[in-house]
Structure 1
Amino acid sequence: MIPVRGYEGKRVAVLGLGRSGLAAAKALEAGGAEALCWDDGAEARERAEGQGLILHDLTRRDAFDDLAALIASPGIPHLYPETNRHIARAYEAGVPVDNDIGLFFRSFATPDWDEFETTPKVVAITGSNGKSTTSALIYHILSEAGRPTQLAGNIGRGVLDLDPAHDSEVVVLELSSYQTDLARALTPDIAVFTNLSPDHLDRHAGIGGYFAAKRRLFAEGGPDRAVIGVDEPEGLFLAGQLSEGPGDDRVIRVSVDRKLAGPGWHVFARKGFLSEYRKGRQVASIDLRPMKGLPGSHNHQNACAAFAACRALGLAPRQIEAALASFAGLPHRSQLVGEKGGVTFVNDSKATNVDSAAAALQAFERIRWIAGGLGKDGGIAALAPHLGHVAKAYLIGHSAREFALQLGDTPHEICETMERAVASAASEAEPGETVLLAPAAASFDQYADFEARGDDFTRLVRALTA
């Protein structure tokens, strides 16, 4: 646990008692604060009370008297589409509002660090797609290289559940826009921006607000190094804002669209080869094509970002290459779950929108595509340019018939259930083909979450391939 610093002897309210809220309350108490907890859900309040935490009814008239701060869980809206009523009262009372990410950055460094030979560092990763894989890749590379490391944030553990830092340790944080938008302190040593595509637009009042939330990671604390994906206009803009000139190697530009040129520090992938250039000269190259845990250009972008971050930490290219080759992939993200008779089965249940599904559809040559669920606005119409590799689609869930109408000439079958889709795709697949779950839809019509959907696919595949 990271004891929260700066609130000794003060009363701090915690709103939202899920994983991050409970961890924040305990970390505040460990740092000497009085944590006063509230959740509008009775079950969450009972769980917190059962863990010995103090409840504090924020609906009371005097609830915000003498509070030093209100710590809100990331899922609670603090501005758009409508400010949560408790947060609105905090604003009116002049009570500062923060989240667990802000508490972490104000508390992680301690006087003990003066005794360390090598100062611990924090690498923080944000973006629309690929941030989980990039975070896991960086953590994996560091672990394989023997560097002490911990993984937390939007993946793995809550940030305040981390252990206090060791000498030379690197903490890797995946941060969502919900987390970066509210945090009052954001001071990573290395910050990574993967890419940007429309998501969570209601929460941020449009794409501009969404980008602004992610930009805070770079603008608020001024990281020593920034790794920026420049394949979208927002990334180019961000790199330009942070750089003092073409040769400024504090900004490492990353691309999978084109070769990057100039005197600066660049990492890019073309035709499956990762290249690193510094001062106009190539200094490293890695063949990503044989790496089964990193299929497709979207994963090559993740590999470039992870490579750049680890190079900024001082790792050698050959160390990074060996770790990339041993990376098995994250569950539900282009995860290889089985092979039989020359047919490969891949679980990309996390592909819940058309952008991530498009990346998955471009990663394999010939695909038996399982798609569907609770469709989002526009369905899968935007995927029309990416259906060339699809031999046949097998449609499940609430939006199966809607998706069928948007497939044009692509052969398809309405299966409704995962069991029927897997059985049909497996029976028709030929050697060299990939049975790919990339739903392009939410899971809530049939499953509790995308993990449960991916687990069901994996279970069915392993029963077939055993």
Structure 2
Amino acid sequence: MIEKIEPWIQGKRVLLLGFGREGRSTYNVLRRLGTCSVLDVADQLALEDQPEGIETWISGPDYQSCLNDYDVVFKSPGVVLERPAEEYRCQILSQTEVFFQCFRDQIIGITGTKGKSTITTLLYHLLKHAGYDTILAGNIGIPVFDLMEDIRPETIIVCELSCHQLEYMTVSPHIAVLSNIHEEHLDHYGTMEKYVRAKEHIFLNQRPEDVLICSVQCLPEPGECVSRLITACPAFAEPPLDRYWKEKKTPVRQDAPSLCVEENENATIIRYEGTVYRIPQDRIRLMGQHNYFDIGFAYAVCRILHMSEEDFTKGLIDYEPLPHRLQFLGELNGVKYYDDSISTICETAIQALKTLKDTDTILIGGMDRGIDYRELIEYLSRSPVPHIILMEATGKRIFEEITEDYPEFENMQRLIPAEHLEDAVQIAKEVTRPGHSCVMSPAAASYGIFRNFEERGERFRALVFAEQPENTVF
């Protein structure tokens, strides 16, 4: 199956731009094919153990200056091009681009600022549980080239897509899910408009026979989407969902089929094309309205693929949520602790407080990427949560903004500055009342402090339960 890649590289001078996990995967596949005349690597860092078959290793601050010396450049998602892609003479490709060119009719692509990993893994689990031939691909784990030998004509490919993977894409999946867009990654894109455009590549190259399931929060402009559009709306959300989209004012398509997730008489139901499905909240592990909206996206896709409601329910009940996403860690001295380390934006911290209504303490803060925290500040002012611990650079900025610009902030004594996570956890242990919850939902990135949000979450768990482990209940 990897022979499908040959038309892009046969007889070409090929450069691998970036040599992380995806770059190494590309190297291994291209070496097996042996159809490129030159295979070199450009990476900012030099490696001591350089693989065989590479004639030239380009590193250092000018490592991107050589791109036009090659016919084809396979760019890794984490590499930022120094110039716009159209200014290069070489062809800029990626694993995702070539993989989609080969299999786009079999792909369900999922993106969004938040929730895409939950939707992706849930959908894959539901399909697998119901007996579909399916694989999990994309940003969630294994590089897509490493999966090509497992794909048959009937295989359904469930693919999570990051903004970096989508940024230069010229092909879109047969079924696309765009769950939400919030202010994020401005340190990379510079403007919200550029970030949004990267996300919109999930549908910009769709065909009339394709399907887009899209939140009403981020509808395409009229004329942009030629596929079948399904508008998705969380009826329990407080409009507008995001300040940026309040300004966009894209009209809702009146002729588009709708997917709606709403609360109704102490239940949450999904309405989709004439069907009503009641989420079995007391039998599933996913918590919170934002997760119920994610279930709605998965439900719509499963109905398109003709899955029965019985199979959907069985798979939903059996699904184990991903870690660090409002994950219950355990109970210590009467306090329930939750890890929501995946939270890097205002909306996720707000959703954590909406879900855990007994929250006594919330830990907020991390790397400061310059996003607008007005939405979170205004919500915290109205929230009854008695202890708001603000840590790291972001926490310091939020504290300063509140004290300087929000004199009407309700009960400012609730704000507790902390230097680092270690200090924040110690304070949380001292102030959180038994019978209540403490949640770390940082609304900020972990980079520069931890390797990733996973390490941050594990560190939080270790700090919480370092003392008196015999009192811990799991």
Unaligned runs of 5+ in 2: 238-251, 404-408
Displacement of 1:52: 5.2
Matched, 1:308 2:293: no
Displacement of 1:359: 2.6
Distance 1:327 1:286 in 2: 17
Displacement of 1:256: 0.6
The one-letter code matched in structure 1 to 2:444 is A
Q: Secondary structure at the match of 2:216?
A: coil
Deviation track 1:73-120 (CA, whole Å, cap 9, x = no partner) reads: 122223xxx428xx78xx45x2211111112123448xxxxxxxxxx8
Matched, 1:83 2:66: no
Matched, 1:370 2:363: yes
Displacement of 1:192: 0.8
Q: Secondary structure at the match of 1:252?
A: strand
Matched, 1:344 2:347: no
Counterpart of 1:27 in structure 2 is 29
1:376–1:183 distance in 2 versus 1, CA, 3 Å? closer
Q: Secondary structure at the match of 1:458?
A: helix
Counterpart of 2:379 in structure 1 is 386
Given that residues 214 and 229 in structure 2 are in contact (C-alpha distance below 8 angstroms), is that contact kept between their aligned partners in structure 1?
A: no
Given that residues 351 and 357 in structure 1 are in contact (C-alpha distance below 8 angstroms), is that contact kept between their aligned partners in structure 2?
A: yes
Distance 2:214 2:444 in 1: 26
CA RMSD of aligned residues (A): 3.3
The one-letter code matched in structure 2 to 1:50 is P
Distance 1:62 1:75 in 2: 17
Matched, 1:126 2:126: no
Deviation track 1:380-421 (CA, whole Å, cap 9, x = no partner) reads: 443123221422122333444443342742513334343443
Displacement of 1:72: 1.1
**Equivalent of 2:225, from 242, 267, 273?**
242
The one-letter code matched in structure 1 to 2:6 is R
Distance 1:83 1:320 in 2: 46
Q: Secondary structure at the match of 2:376?
A: helix
Unaligned runs of 5+ in 1: 110-119, 245-249
**Equivalent of 1:299, from 264, 288, 291?**
291
Q: Secondary structure at the match of 1:276?
A: strand
- The correspondence of residues 321-332 of structure 1 with structure 2, limited to 5 A, is 321-332=313-324
Distance 1:237 1:182 in 2: 20
Counterpart of 1:247 in structure 2 is none
Q: Secondary structure at the match of 2:145?
A: helix
| Runs of 4 or more above 6 Å deviation | 58-62, 258-263
* Identical positions, percent: 28
Matched, 1:439 2:438: no
TM-score between both structures, scaled by the size of structure 1: 0.81
Counterpart of 1:114 in structure 2 is none
Distance 1:75 1:254 in 2: 30
Q: Secondary structure at the match of 2:325?
A: coil
TM-score between both structures, scaled by the size of structure 2: 0.80
The one-letter code matched in structure 1 to 2:167 is D
Matched, 1:286 2:286: no
Counterpart of 1:113 in structure 2 is none
Distance 2:258 2:119 in 1: 17
Distance 1:125 1:25 in 2: 26
Counterpart of 2:139 in structure 1 is 154
Distance 1:43 1:135 in 2: 35
The answer to which of 137-146 and 418-427 deviates more is 418-427
Counterpart of 1:251 in structure 2 is 229
Matched, 1:68 2:71: yes
Counterpart of 2:258 in structure 1 is 266
The one-letter code matched in structure 2 to 1:315 is M
**Equivalent of 2:162, from 176, 198, 204?**
176
The one-letter code matched in structure 2 to 1:8 is Q
Distance 2:174 2:320 in 1: 27
Counterpart of 2:417 in structure 1 is 414
Given that residues 233 and 261 in structure 2 are in contact (C-alpha distance below 8 angstroms), is that contact kept between their aligned partners in structure 1?
A: yes
1:370–1:60 distance in 2 versus 1, CA, 3 Å? closer
Distance 2:183 2:392 in 1: 24
Q: How many residues align?
A: 435
Displacement of 1:33: 2.8
Given that residues 186 and 370 in structure 2 are in contact (C-alpha distance below 8 angstroms), is that contact kept between their aligned partners in structure 1?
A: no
The answer to which of 100-109 and 128-137 deviates more is 100-109
1:462–1:152 distance in 2 versus 1, CA, 3 Å? farther
Distance 2:13 2:349 in 1: 46
- The correspondence of residues 221-232 of structure 1 with structure 2, limited to 5 A, is 221-222=206-207, 224-232=209-217
Given that residues 36 and 56 in structure 1 are in contact (C-alpha distance below 8 angstroms), is that contact kept between their aligned partners in structure 2?
A: no
The one-letter code matched in structure 1 to 2:234 is V
Given that residues 338 and 440 in structure 2 are in contact (C-alpha distance below 8 angstroms), is that contact kept between their aligned partners in structure 1?
A: yes
The answer to which of 345-354 and 60-69 deviates more is 60-69
1:243–1:17 distance in 2 versus 1, CA, 3 Å? closer
Distance 2:424 2:201 in 1: 43
Given that residues 166 and 201 in structure 2 are in contact (C-alpha distance below 8 angstroms), is that contact kept between their aligned partners in structure 1?
A: yes
